Amino acid sequence: MDNSADLPGYKHYLLRSDASRPGVFVAFLDLVQDAGCAVNGVVRPVDETDLSELDRRERNYERVDVSDGIEAARGTVWAYVGSPAGRARLRGARGAGIAVVSRDYLADVRAGFAALGAEQLAGFERSSELEGLPIMQLDRIDH
């Protein structure tokens, strides 16, 4: 996400050290299809209201049906993957050296995988492409 742009109902980040607003792009998780890999995580039931809320919240992602890839799926299984526009912004920000990850966000993600077990956390670490992305101490400001 472009931290310099204000979007109604969205967010931006301030540096924890001095409360300034850095001109960076903040990166989040994404899924990339790879026949040699599996996604680790949790499947949970949702209804149409939940899906509408998730679609609104995950504005930089597209909801895709991944049911065929889930063993013993009961009903439709959705995943959110980076939108082409979101992925293009990340590529551009990486190229410009201004893509970063929030330390708190990364800690929350790691804690979530750790709660699923050490093997799940290790799987996340192996499959994540954080190389070259600085980790910044940022405070999230919701609009």
Contact 15, 22 (CB under 8 A): yes
Instruction: Count the helix, strand and coil residues of the chain and give each as a percent rounded to the nearest 5.
Output: 35, 20, 45
pLDDT tens column, 18-42:
999 999 999 999 988 888 777 777 7
In contact, 122 and 8? CB cutoff 8 Å? no
Whether 93 contacts 103, CB under 8 Å: no
Total number of domains constituting the chain: 1
Tell me the two tokens of residue 103.
């330390």
- On whether residue 4 sits in a domain, the answer given is no
- What are 94-103's pLDDT values in tens digits? 999 999 999 9
| Torsions phi, psi for 18 (to 5 deg) | -140, 5
Is there a contact between 39 and 116 (Cβ–Cβ < 8 Å)? no
Note whether residue 21 is domain-resident: yes
pLDDT of residue 55: 94
> Which residues form the domain of 84?
11-142
pTM: 0.84
Distance between CA atoms of residues 71 and 73, nearest Å = 5
